[in-house]
Amino acid sequence: MHEALQSQFPAKTAHEGAPRGDFYFMPIMRLTPYILAILACAPLSAAAATADIDTDADTTARALREVVVTATRPPVEVIPVQRLGGEELKRLNSQSVADALRYFSGVQVKDYGGVGGIKTVNIRSMGTNHSGVVYDGIELGNAQNGQIDLGQFSLDNVEAISLYNGQKSEILQPARDYGSAGTIYIRTRTPRFAEGKNYNARATFRTGSFDLINPSALVELRLSENVNASLSTEWINSSGKYKFRYRRVNAAGETAYDTTAVRQNGDINALRAELNLNGSINEGEWHFKVYHYDSERGVPGAIVNNVWRRGERIWDNNSFAQGSFTKCIGRFTTLANVKYSFYRTHYVNNDDKQIKIDNIYRQREFYISTANEYAILPQWRVSASYDFMWNALAADMTGFARPDRFSHIVAVATALNLKRFKALASGMGTFIHDILRGQQSPADKHVFTPAIYLSGNPLRNRDFSVRAFVKRSFRMPTFNDLYYADMGNSKLNPERVTQYNIGLLYDHSANSFISAARVSVDGYINRVKDKIVAYPKGQQFRWTMLNLGVVDIKGVDISALLTLNPASELFVTLRAQYTWQRAIDVTNPADNYYRDQIPYIPHHSGSAVINAVWRRWNFNCSYIYVGERYNQQENIRYNYTQPWYTTDLSLSRDFTFGRVNFRALLEVNNVFAQDYDVIINYPMPKRNYRLTLTVEI
């Protein structure tokens, strides 16, 4: 069973100690002492200036305008950021957030194959658990295994995706946001209405290979001058069946297997619904969201020893409600967030050659946050944030610890913004208290993590800038790491990371043949200490978690963007990313894999995108390359994994009939039908197709 599922589900079968009903709540009186009052901080305009703006006008104007937005110089960030938004995001032949992240440098996406396969992200080789995912301003959580399955989040209603190494450049943010080594920010579409119009509506139908049926709908309403609402729904159904070539070579270089088969147990039936309410007040705004995801899907297992089908299935029932409020009072600005989430997972494994599993897991989270900023001077701001979070996990298993975790997070920050120099410093204190049912609770954990960021413009025209940062971060051991019987270790220390980054940015825009040119280069060193690893205890299926690992990471990220305007109605955009990484295990010189590259981290990887817009036609060509890797700790021939690359093409045409806009889109993915595995023994699809029709009024 692959590592993502090993970390997520224990090998137990009994059904005891489960609560009655799916929804049960911690008494609110237990939470009341932790809820703090909210005080203030500085203008909203600074935050608003950093947002990407995508407009909705008539179809012809929209296509050209989106290209111009892509070419416009983004705000100078103190912290390295990569961003995809608007029409550019739609053109990338991506169906989920995980697919789009493949086009960012320094990112490795673990994809276990198929439409319904699990997809997780690893930023700069520090591990999936060091990557935060923020959805419309509030971080997504998973105290059970620390991993967010990004395959569950569709791009259908996403307006922009940003990736920050370190943390966001703003200091008015929740304390929790200061904690991750790298953070992905997902922003959903904000309703915008033409003058005199009180609604927008959009319907999309997508079909293609693997028996794909994927309709979605979006309705936006202007409820009043200051309040609007939107409802987004999507259904996806697919058999997940596709042909693949299974070829394996033994240690002597001889062909052991070479055949063609059909991928099994990769089906998915999923429904997503999302309701948003947005309002504005005098010098402030508020947002409220309810999100629900319900799915049944097969887990496409590893293809080993001529076993083509596995018996693993997952039922996910995930819901959360969240709200945020921002208000400016003179030099003060205050931000308040609150969230409650409930995740129910039913996991079944009926394989004859593995331990039978049929378990239900219930995960709950309550979260409240207050962030306050004060502008001492127009160029100098300070902030203070406090977060309280309660997590609980229950399962129908014998002897399950049923842990409750209480987290208090405090952060202070300051930002200095001069004409040609910017600086940001922050410090975060985290205090963790776990309570176990029927067992002795572990000792409390306290961690302090500081960070410093600098950015400067040595040239007067500000086309060229230099940036650097140093940051310490950590990740708490998950409930799986700590408390699973025969596996957990309640005495684990937090896994710590120290990051060093220095980068150069050249950003130029002009009204000429070359309308925009942007090149950034970042070199970085990361060191991971107390890495949490699973260590065998001598018998199969008996493992324990220990702080053993130390990993040294060195890398270079390069990204470039060039926008050309060779004719009045023709725009051509070229985007490229390249990453070099050396991520080696330096835990113990006696290990056979000492100073070997850690599993699944290539030395070289990159992507390139060419987009051309002419009148109402839009053509896109995307290329992704991942170099040679090793699938186990020892860098020997037997563990060698070949490089892989894919080329995707898409062509779209916009139409207008009266006041109704149409878009037809044809996608061809993996044009050259490459045989490849992102994770060894999990074959990916060969050439496949998608056809999309969108109607918008």
Query: Which of 114-123, 208-217, 386-395, 590-599 bottoms out in mean pLDDT, i.e. has the lowest?
Result: 114-123
Report whether pLDDT(59) > 50. no
CA 696 to chain centre: 28
Work out the average pLDDT over 287-292. Answer: 97
CA pair distance 23, 393, nearest whole angstrom = 12
What number of CA atoms fall less than 13 Å from residue 359's CA on the CB side? 22
The pTM of the full predicted model, rounded to 2 decimals, is 0.84
Report whether pLDDT(128) > 90. no
CB 518 within 8 Å of CB 71: no
**689: confidence class by pLDDT, cuts 50, 70, 90:** very high
Report whether pLDDT(27) > 60. no
Report pLDDT digits (tens) over 599-631. 899 999 999 999 999 989 999 999 999 999 998
Number of residues that this document lists for the chain: 697
**75: confidence class by pLDDT, cuts 50, 70, 90:** very low
Top pLDDT among 336 and 310 is at: 336
| Element at 64 (helix H, strand E) | helix 59-71
CA pair distance 178, 182, nearest whole angstrom = 10
Report pLDDT digits (tens) over 255-265. 777 788 888 88
> Which of 145, 20, 179 is closest to 483 using CA atoms?
145
CA 152 to chain centre: 11
Work out the average pLDDT over 289-294. Answer: 96
Which residues lie across from 262 on neighbouring strands? 243
Report pLDDT digits (tens) over 228-251. 999 999 999 999 999 888 777 666
| Tokens standing for residue 568 | 């009045």
Per-residue pLDDT at 494: 86
Report pLDDT digits (tens) over 411-462. 999 999 998 899 999 999 999 999 988 778 888 889 999 999 999 998 887 7
CA pair distance 435, 422, nearest whole angstrom = 43
**268: confidence class by pLDDT, cuts 50, 70, 90:** very high
CA pair distance 114, 249, nearest whole angstrom = 24
> Which of 296, 339, 338 is closest to 317 using CA atoms?
296
Q: What is the three-state SS of 494-551?
A: CEEEEEEEEEEEEEEECCCCEEEEEEEEEEEEEEEEEEEEEEECCCCCCEEEEEEEEE
Report whether pLDDT(38) > 90. no
Compute φ and ψ for 89, nearest 5 degrees.
Answer: -65, -40
DSSP structure string for 638-667:
GGEE--EEEEEEEEEEEEEETTEEEEEEEE
Report whether pLDDT(539) > 70. no
Per-residue pLDDT at 5: 44
One-letter amino acid at 213 equals I
Work out the average pLDDT over 328-335. Answer: 96
> Which of 616, 579, 681, 688 is closest to 248 using CA atoms?
681
CB 563 within 8 Å of CB 514: yes
CB 60 within 8 Å of CB 615: yes
| Tokens standing for residue 26 | 């911690």
| Tokens standing for residue 404 | 């409750």
Per-residue pLDDT at 371: 97
Query: Which of 293-302, 303-312, 344-353, 684-693 bottoms out in mean pLDDT, i.e. has the lowest?
Result: 303-312
Report whether pLDDT(195) > 70. yes
| Tokens standing for residue 331 | 């030099």
CA 200 to chain centre: 28
Burial code (b: 16+ CB inside 10 Å, e: under 16) for 35-69 equals eeebebbbbbebbeebebebebeebeebbbbbbeb
Compute φ and ψ for 70, nearest 5 degrees.
Answer: -60, -35
